[in-house]
Structure 1
Amino acid sequence: MKVLTKLYLNASVALMAAASLNLNAAPLKINDIAPDFSATTIAGKSIKLSGLNRNKPVYLKFWATWCSYCVAEMPHLQNIYDQYGDDIEVITINVAMNDSIAKINKLFSAQGYNLPTVFDTKGKLTALFGVVGTPHHILIDRNGKIAYRTFLASDTLDAKVDGLINSTNNNLGQ
């Protein structure tokens, strides 16, 4: 019972904090064109959504180091990146609320993560994609359309990732 209470309290605090991220955000719907953006990863690499390989789907994960669900899902995302890195662009976007690059680097170093990560200092990407809570997963198909969005990683999310990768590979004759 103590574990459930602790999880409930953590989830409540995370949702309240995350809700303050962007209350005026209008979430993108499935089949909406994903808005283009430019950003720099914490490793110093420039990223432009429209500049990514358009023969690959894109997986965006909005997260924070203080979000217990976000951190618990990271091994899953690292596995997708390691297993399908040639077939999908994976980018994590830290919402930068009560967080720091030092905390991200500490977590990544301790766990061996090497995911491309953007620190959304001014919340521009969070607002652009209508994200109001963490974790938040967005899949973009190879045509630049929102294919799926969800809060928690699940079997459905995995199936959507597999479907996007398989449809991309089938269209490329692989």
Structure 2
Amino acid sequence: MRRDVSLFSGLNFLVIRALALVVASAFALSVGGSVSAEPLKVGEIAPNFTINQIDNTPFKLSEFKGKQSVYLIFWNTWCGHCMKKVPQLMTIEREFGEQVKLLAINTSWSDSLAEISQFQARFEANYAIAFDDNAEITHRYGVMGTPTGFLVDINGVIRQVDGITHTLAANIEQWNRVSGTEGKPVVLAGAVCDKDSLC
């Protein structure tokens, strides 16, 4: 009888442990975003996507190809480094808004639209914000943590991937170049990052 009870207890322990592992994995998928696509790298084509901004204005990445560079920043309201980045983002929007489209995409990891609206009002953010409700875009871009930024040039190519802004440099020509008919770059307008900056 004691052996049976001991065996039963052992089986219970194994079952409980297995269930705990399953629950932990599911939690990582839904909240932490640790299981996702491979992180995108510099030189890759940025995946196209469409998302509504919180003011219900639609944003489609491909519409900016051939027009201007795009700076995508993935963030959360509870992220300390994201809060520190707000002044730099506001500077980008204020000084380069006509040359670089800035979109701050909330990953929806433990966030809600109400919290985003409160965040925007608290910091008086002057840039466009969107809510990735099911984190689909977040996962497609391989985002593992926030803040993570992608500088997408005028040709739709990722030119810089980073987390935290340390410097803000005006490099007007580097990212807004369109390939001409002979394959030579045609210089258009502006950008915000050079190879030595992390913005």
Which TM-score applies when normalising by structure 2? Answer: 0.71
Select the structure of larger CA radius of gyration.
2
Partner of 2:141: 129
- What is residue 32 of structure 2 aligned with on the other side? 20
Partner Cα distance (2:124, 2:55) in 1: 15
**In 2, Cα distance between the equivalents of 1:137 and 1:18?**
21
Q: Is the 8 A contact 2:29 2:35 kept in 1?
A: no
Q: Distance in 2 between matches of 1:99 and 1:47?
A: 20
Q: Does 1:44 align with 2:56?
A: yes
For 2:35 and 2:147, locate their aligned partners in 1 and report how far apart those are by CA, in whole Å.
Answer: 16
> Following TM superposition, by how much is the alpha carbon of 1:55 offset from its aligned partner in structure 2, in angstroms?
2.6
Shift of 1:173: 7.7
2:187 is aligned with what amino acid? Answer: N
Deviations 1:88-146 (A, max 9, x none): 01000001111111111112112221211110110111011110100101101111000
1:171 matched to 2:187: yes
1:98-137 superposed matches below 5 A: 98-137=110-149
d(CA) in 2 for partners of 1:173 and 1:66? Answer: 35
Deviation at 1:23, TM superposition (A): 1.8
Q: Identity of counterpart residues, as a percentage? A: 31
Aligned residue for 1:27, secondary structure, equals coil
TM-score, normalised via structure 1 length:
0.80
Q: Aligned pair in 2 of structure 1 residues 55, 132: CA closer, same or farther (>3 Å)?
A: same
The structure 2 residue matched to 1:138, chosen from 136, 150, 153, is 150
Runs of 4+ in 1 over 6 A off after TM superposition: 16-19
Q: CA deviation at 1:18?
A: 10
CA pair 44-19 structure 1, distance change in 2 beyond 3 A: closer
CA-based RMSD: 2.3
State yes or no: 1:148 paired with 2:160. Answer: yes
Whose relative contact order is higher, 1 or 2, with alpha carbons under 8 Å and at least 6 apart? 1
* Equivalent in the alignment of 1:74: 86
Q: Which secondary structure does the structure 1 equivalent of 2:173 belong to?
A: helix
